[in-house]
Amino acid sequence: MPPRRFLHLLPRHRRGHVVSVLSPNIPAMYELHFAVPMSGAVLNTINTRLDTRTVSLLLRHSQSKLLFVDHTLSSLVLDALHLFPPNTPTPLLVLIADHDAPHPNSSDSSPFCATYEEMVESGDPDFQWTLPEDEWDPMTLNYTSGTTSSPKGVVHGHRGLFIITVNSLLDWAVPRQPVYLWTLPMFHANGWSYPYGIAAVGGTNVCVRKFDAHVIYDLIRRHGVTHMCGAPVVLNMLTNVPNNEPLRNPVQIMTSGAPPPAAVLSRTESLGFVVSHGYGLTETAGPVVSCAWKPGWNKLPATERARLKSRQGVRMVAMTHVDVVDPDTGAPVKRDGSSLGEVVFRGGSVMLGYLKDPKGTASCMKDGLFYTGDVAVMHADGYLEIKDRSKDMIISGGENVSSVEVESVLYTNAAVNEAAVVARPDEFWGETPCAFVSLKADVARRPTEKEIIEYCRGKLPHYMVPKTVVFKEELPKTSTGKIQKFVLREMAAQCYLIRGSLRNGYTVRVRSMPVSMIRRTTVSMIRSTTVSMI
């Protein structure tokens, strides 16, 4: 029982102190989900794909006292600590070493006070774990993924984590002794609570350091995997493996994190996966809305089934209230599938608040409701459907353009691997849709910008058709597969400034841009196949 064995080394840090973990999905990461809360400390799992500056910022913001570091990330952490201001306390470091890889020992000259295995071996198996004094005591600290802005520290209590764990098991109907494959990063909202849920039902955890579609299929067949989770980008990668045969035994896969294109859902299920679709945020500790499946839908054509499943759905038991409301008045929108509003939640797994950010907490918590910032519609059958983040909605000539709807059409194109649509400034329309697209590696012929636009024109209203297409090898993403649209918006705006200057024969706007912006924009345009001049 490794979690219990090193608990006696943690109480030197007072109850409520933050203990951080920077690690991929390995057994130690799973065990620390139990050991840290059992010691009375607050568990803070850190995104492994963050840069040095951001890791340093999060460690300082959380005032982390102890940091467990995977050996592959030790250089990143040491560089991050060097960015601490003088005389700022730094966390003690514990190295999670690989048995087959050389690693520094915990000598006087080492920056690490111990290795993970040393702590386990020296631990007391009979040490009594520390119970929370109150069910509302903080248990975890997770930083948001940063798809729209700088990460915010989300604090969840013991009560909320218990509720979301039971909620997830019930809604997904997880049986006893499942075999769960860790394709979802455990540092993302604590793996949607499944470290605790899989333990509760006596399941087997299959850990994987890095996502590779070929490896995933091998692990599924070798270990008899029954359940796994992942963002829609994971589903997309699974369906793009060449010459892959359908699975012999069905695998339950829960997807969340972004609205999944219907075309991706259809392709995934054709390979033998049974897709469940949920919706939630870091602030709700995981999915709290699910697309509850109705038996009658099984008789519908595959494309219609996929369209229905791409909707987010109805509330799970963790929530007492879910609605789509007018953000200005708080009144529910019409249940017509077209009236836009903001998704609001009330329930047991909503966060305690943002760490050290009372204004940010107050801005999203109003009248007992959590305002998500997600734009959605409510259908007549009570199922909600996300249309966009409020910051991602495009307003072109006074018309609302849902980037999600445009992306869904792009994903039906056989050559498209990934797609994201953002607003690009326009002198006449105010904004126009700008599509960023990556193509499949095995595509026989690369489509042109004109062909992509014509393809969309045949499936969308004219005002929703992208006016600009940017082809890129890969789109910028968070570690959980969410496309970072704020990065793409900046690129679209920079392209607009340079193109406008070149097209109109003026250089004044380029001259007014910072040199760093001109350099970034030029490099981006060289690395991309960028076409279309309105």
Report domain extents, the chain: 2-123, 154-388, 394-531
Q: Which of 412, 527, 420 lies closest to 460 in space, CA to CA?
A: 412
d(CA 237, CA 213): 6
CATH number assigned to the domain covering 2-123: 3.40.50.980
Instruction: Give me the architecture of the 394-531 domain, per CATH.
Output: 2-Layer Sandwich (3.30)
State how far the alpha carbon of 423 is from the alpha carbons of 148, 363, 433, 459, 494, in Å: 14, 25, 5, 19, 12
Instruction: Give the H or E element holding residue 290.
Output: strand 286-290
The distance in angstroms from the start CA to the end CA of the chain is 64
Residue 390: both structure tokens together: 């409020």
CATH number assigned to the domain covering 154-388: 3.40.50.12780
- Evaluated on CA atoms 494, 499, 504, 510, the torsion sign reads positive
pLDDT at 146: 55
Q: Give the lowest-confidence range in 60-74, 90-104, 340-354, 462-476.
A: 90-104
CB burial class (10 A; 0-12, 13-18, 19+) of residue 337?
middle
Torsion of CA 250, 252, 257, 259, to 10 degrees: 50
Using alpha carbons only, how large is the chain's radius of gyration in Å? 24
**Same fold across 2-123 and 154-388:** yes
Report the pLDDT averaged over residues 346-372.
95
Q: In whole numbers, what is the pLDDT of the chain averaged over residues?
A: 87
How many Cα atoms are found within 13 Å in the side-chain-facing hemisphere of 356? 10
Query: At 98, is the pLDDT very low, low, confident or very high (cuts 50, 70, 90)?
Result: confident
Task: Give 398-444 pLDDT, tens digit per residue.
Answer: 677 888 889 989 999 999 999 999 999 887 787 899 999 999 988 88
